[in-house]
Amino acid sequence: MTRTFPERFLFGAATAAYQIEGAAFEEGRTASIWDAFARVPGAVINADNGDVACDHYHRYPQDVALMKELGLQTYRFSTSWSRVRPDGGAVNAKGVDFYKRLVDELLDNDIVPWLTLYHWDMPQALEEKGGWTNRDTVDRFVEYAGTMHDALGDRVHYWTTLNEPWCSSFLSYTAGVHAPGRMDVGDGMLAAHHLLLSHGRTVQELRRRDESLELGITLNLTVADPADADAPVDIDAARRIDGQFNRWFLDPIFRGVYPDDVIRDFRKVDSDAVARWEQAVQPGDLDAISTPLDALGVNYYHGEMLSGTAPAEEAPGGDAPTERATASPFPSTDGIHWVERGLPRTAMDWEVQPEGLTRLLQRVWDDYAGGIPLYVTENGAAYDDVREGDTVPDSERRTFLVEHVKAVADAIDAGVDVRGYFYWSLLDNYEWAWGYEKRFGIVRVEYDTQERTVKDSGREYARIIAARAV
């Protein structure tokens, strides 16, 4: 059955500054936390860094031409705080000018620019003053946001404050997996709060400047299912993951409160950390964090099935579950086990679960959105594809793309106001702690020559966009 999309629905692709730009220390840009973290022995596979990445800083006209060739209606990119306000200080005109040129190139090619202010590349100088555990960083972020609006507010309508604050707090300050590599429960909680506060205050500032802007935040969310829907321990395992991954961010943004059950979970693990966090949440903070939005970005890659006990011999459906050795950045996951479901897996070892995207969009719409539109701001898969002549036959990614676009159509049919889909990523790129080993792009990049080749998945996406149907 052919599924068609509303006329206002936007098809796009997404990238992030540190992952593609390169030019790490050119024209005034100084070190970000990722420049520093990537140089810590053992932090990144093969000790890779983003110094060159996809050289997008010098090749952006070629990359925009590829977007035009694919028929992209919109392009989601992030601006580099370290390029725009190096070390968190004065404005760097040359850095700002790069984004002016990029936006002009997009508009000249009828591609809608979608700007994300923070995709994890805080200036290292600010991290050395405490980073996101320091409340002063909130003020520095609002200043940076104002700089970008001064430069691009007349040409950019869609603004996202933060990308995936879960990653830049718990994954970065508690698990130590991402920059800056800290491993402290309290630091993760403080970082999460200050990230959310910077979001709320930035929304207030940008709305004060221009009420016509469409302002939002992007959250990476999951579908947490109990292995046995009738087993209290499995239900509680799913509750804990949903609470720490989803509700810790959704509740303060949409309800102006942090979830009590997750606070209790944290307190059982580290009561001192909770005490530090409680002192950091000042009067008025949650009012700012819950400033009404115009849109919510949802990033989805996979769901998860969870058990609260060691796996039994037989799963509820008769299949033998397998406990996965999954490191978790959450401080209250003792006794939780990730259960195999026999689903296909990507090169990241993530399950492929398109129907989870439909359920997630429905849940967010019903429980939180309150009528504001949703956008799937990231959805994609890494596979070990290989170039063959002038083509890259990546049938697994092509299937992943098609099935997830269908899942979005299912959500729209169910009454969810989903207004856009951004594939992650436009280009193969620097994939954080995995370096250059994981390829997510619908365009292949040969890192030694910077040659670009549209993959079969990219051609399929172009057909979907042209037909506005899948």
Give per-residue pLDDT as tens, 274-300: 999 999 999 999 999 999 999 999 999
Which residue's structure tokens are 């040409």? 155
Burial of 223 (0-12, 13-18, 19+ CB in 10 A): buried
Q: What is the pLDDT of residue 311?
A: 47
Which residue, 341, 369, 370, is CA-closest to 356?
A: 341
Q: How large is the greatest C-alpha to C-alpha distance in the chain, in angstroms?
A: 63
Task: Determine if the peptide bond prior to 165 is cis (ω within 30°).
Answer: no
Helices 93-108, 56-70: axis angle to 10 degrees equals 20
The amino acid present at 132, given as its one-letter code, is W
Q: Which of 21, 105, 127, 164 is catalytic?
A: 164
User: Is the pLDDT reported for residue 327 higher than 50?
Assistant: no
In a domain, 57, yes or no: yes
- Residue 310, pLDDT score: 56
Q: Which of 21, 127, 378, 460 is catalytic?
A: 378
Cα separation, 15 vs 160, whole angstroms: 13
Distance set, CA 461 to CA 7, 70, 225, 440 (Å): 17, 7, 30, 14
Torsion angle of C-alpha atoms 438, 49, 428, 395, degrees rounded to 10: -10
Helix (H) or strand (E) holding 411: helix 395-413
The pLDDT, as a whole number, for residue 156 is 98
pLDDT at 431 over 60: yes
Q: Which residues pair with 423 in a beta bridge?
A: 13
pLDDT in tens, 171-196: 999 999 999 999 999 999 999 999 99
Confidence class for position 334, pLDDT limits 50, 70, 90: confident
Residues in the chain: 470
Q: Does any domain span residue 356?
A: yes
CATH of the domain at 442: 3.20.20.80
d(CA 371, CA 416): 9
Main-chain phi, psi angles of 40, to 5 degrees: -80, 125
Q: Dump the DSSP string for 86-102.
A: GGG-S--HHHHHHHHHH
Q: Is residue 4 part of a domain?
A: no
Q: Are 136 and 194 in contact (CB under 8 A)?
A: no
Q: Residue 335 has which token pair?
A: 């006794």
- What is the domain count for the chain? 1
Query: Side by side, which strands form the sheet with 224-226?
Result: 224-226, 304-307, 337-339, 323-324
Residue 47 identity: A
Quote the CA–CA distance of 311 and 57 in Å, as a whole number.
Answer: 49
Residue 324 is predicted with a pLDDT of 34
- Render 284-319 in DSSP notation, one character per residue: THHHHHT---SEEEEE-S--EEEESSS--SS-TTSS
The answer to whether residue 401 sits within a structural domain is: yes
CA distance 467 to 470: 8
Tell me: pLDDT of 208 over 80: yes
Establish if 1 belongs to a structural domain: no
Q: What is the pLDDT of residues 371-384, one digit of tens each?
A: 999 999 999 999 99
In this structure, is residue 5 part of a structural domain?
A: no
Q: What's the whole-number average pLDDT of the chain?
A: 95
Is residue 468 scored above 90 in pLDDT?
yes
Phi, psi at 292, each rounded to 5°: -55, 145
| Catalytic status, residue 164 | yes
Task: Specify the pLDDT at position 63.
Answer: 98
Structural domain harbouring 322:
10-467
Other Cβ atoms within 10 Å of 384 Cβ, number: 11
- Nearest to residue 124, comparing CAs of 34, 50, 42, 14? 34
pLDDT band at 60 (very low <50, low <70, confident <90, very high): very high
What integer is the mean pLDDT of 37-57? 97
2 lies in a domain?
Answer: no
Contact between 216 and 291 under an 8 Å Cβ cutoff? The reply is no
Query: Does the residue 135 lie in any domain?
Result: yes
Is 211's pLDDT higher than 90?
yes
Tokens of 425: 């990523």
- pLDDT > 70: what percent of the chain? 95
pLDDT of residue 331: 62
pLDDT at 329 (0 to 100) = 52
pLDDT at 332: 65
Q: Are 436 and 48 in contact (CB under 8 A)?
A: yes
